[in-house]
Every structure is written in C-alpha cells, then in structure tokens.
Amino acid sequence: MTTLFRYLVYAPNGPAKGQLPRIINAEFSSPMNELSAATLEYNPLESNWDFLNYACELGVEMSVDGGATWTEIPNGRYLRLSREYERMNPKTHKMTLPGYGWMLNKAIQWKTTDLNDDGKRPFLSANVGTIIKTLLDEAQARGTLPGMTYAFTTAVDSAGAAWNKVITIYYEPGLSLYQVLDNLAQQGLCDWRFQGRQL
C-alpha cells in the first residue's frame, strides 16, 4: 500500500489550525541527533496557505493504511519562524522551515551561582537525564519553551531503561541547551529526537 503524507498547521504551542491543501513539492528530513528541516513549494492562493503568514508549527503526518490512521513522523514538527520565501513563479512560493529542535537554542544556561573557579557550572557524576531535565526545567521556569515536554526522567530514558552512564562536565553561562545536548550525543551518551513537541 502506498505511503501517504499530509501537512497540518498548528498554532505556536497550541492546537491544530487546519490541513494544508495540495502541495506542489515537499522535502523534509528526520535525522537522529540532528536538527530536521522541511522545504515546501506551494500556491499561496489556495485555501489555508495564509496560515503561513503568521508564526506557526507544521506537522508532517504519515499513513501506511490508505489514510485510515495518521501518525506524525519522528522529528516531523517544523517551525515557520519568518515570512521569507523564494518566488519560483507567480503561482509558486518556496519556504524553508527548521525542525522543532531549533527551539533548544532558546534555552540558555543562565545560572551564575555555585560556579567553579573557572566560572563554569559543574554537573558531577550526572547522567544525561539529570543534565537535560535540570536545564530544561530551569528554562521553562523562566517562561522559555512552554510547549516543550520530555519523555525521560533523571532515572530512566524515554524507552524506560535506566541511565547506565554518568559524566562529570562543566558548562559556561550562556551555553544553549542545543549545544549541551549535541555535545552529549557526540560523546555517545545519548540519542535524541522529537515526537511532536516531546523530546
């Protein structure tokens, strides 16, 4: 059976606004441990394309049963951050959207107390869940990333398995959560992706 795709627009951190109509061309990536991206070519005069005139989220959903059920693909949530587009011809616009993981750049390590002599924040013998949950919780307490959730704890990963590696590491104030997570993944301490808005 043919795999089908559809494209839903969501209000930022909110509910679905509606489905986009026929797309001239679409390309999207869904990498593990990296930011995803999507490119759309569309006719802006068709219905619902005015949704892209404002900040929004785009969810790419897939069906393998002829449209009976739909599931958003992993890393399949993308962000309309600007109204910039490329005009291909009078009836075709092309827009590029970064993946939802881009939002991790907005969560900054701001804590400036209890730093070591080098001015860095220590995490001593900590697992990935402890590090990321601590930094994300602190960011959300400041009002950043209100719609983002996570599927792990300080004890277990998102598959329910206990964290089996710890690390001692130090972070400078001003470092983004994306930089922290990317570094931990590069060290082989975790793999990450988003499912909708959930890390």
Q: Are the C-beta atoms of residues 62 and 73 closer than 8 Å to each other?
A: yes
Q: What are the pLDDT digits (tens) for 135-150?
A: 999 999 999 999 999 9
Burial (CB count <10 Å: 0-12, 13-18, 19+), residue 68: exposed
pLDDT of residue 26: 95
Q: Please give the structure tokens belonging to residue 20.
A: 């986009």
For 172-193, the pLDDT digits (tens) are: 999 999 999 999 999 999 999 9
Contacts of 16 (CB under 8 A, 6+ apart): 8, 9, 10, 59
pLDDT computed for residue 9 by the predictor: 97
- pLDDT over 80 at 133, yes or no: yes
Question: Which residues are registered as beta bridge partners of 108?
Answer: 176
Whether the model pTM is above 0.75: yes
Mean of per-residue pLDDT scores for the chain: 94
What percent of the chain stands above pLDDT 70? 99
For the segment 38-68, what is each residue's pLDDT rounded down to a tens digit?
A: 999 999 888 898 898 899 999 999 999 999 9
- Closest by alpha carbon to 104, among 140, 55, 152, 156? 140
Alpha-carbon distances of 39 from 45, 81, 98, 185, rounded to whole Å: 18, 13, 9, 26
Which of 61-70, 82-91, 115-124 bottoms out in mean pLDDT, i.e. has the lowest?
82-91
pLDDT at 111: 85
Beta bridge mates, 133: none
Token reading at 181: 């997570």
Task: State yes or no: pLDDT of 82 exceeds 90.
Answer: no
Q: Whole-angstrom Cα distance, residue 160 to residue 147?
A: 23
Distance CA 181, CA 191 (A): 9
pLDDT score of 84: 74
pLDDT tier at 125, thresholds 50, 70, 90: very high
Which of the four pLDDT bands, split at 50, 70 and 90, describes residue 130? very high
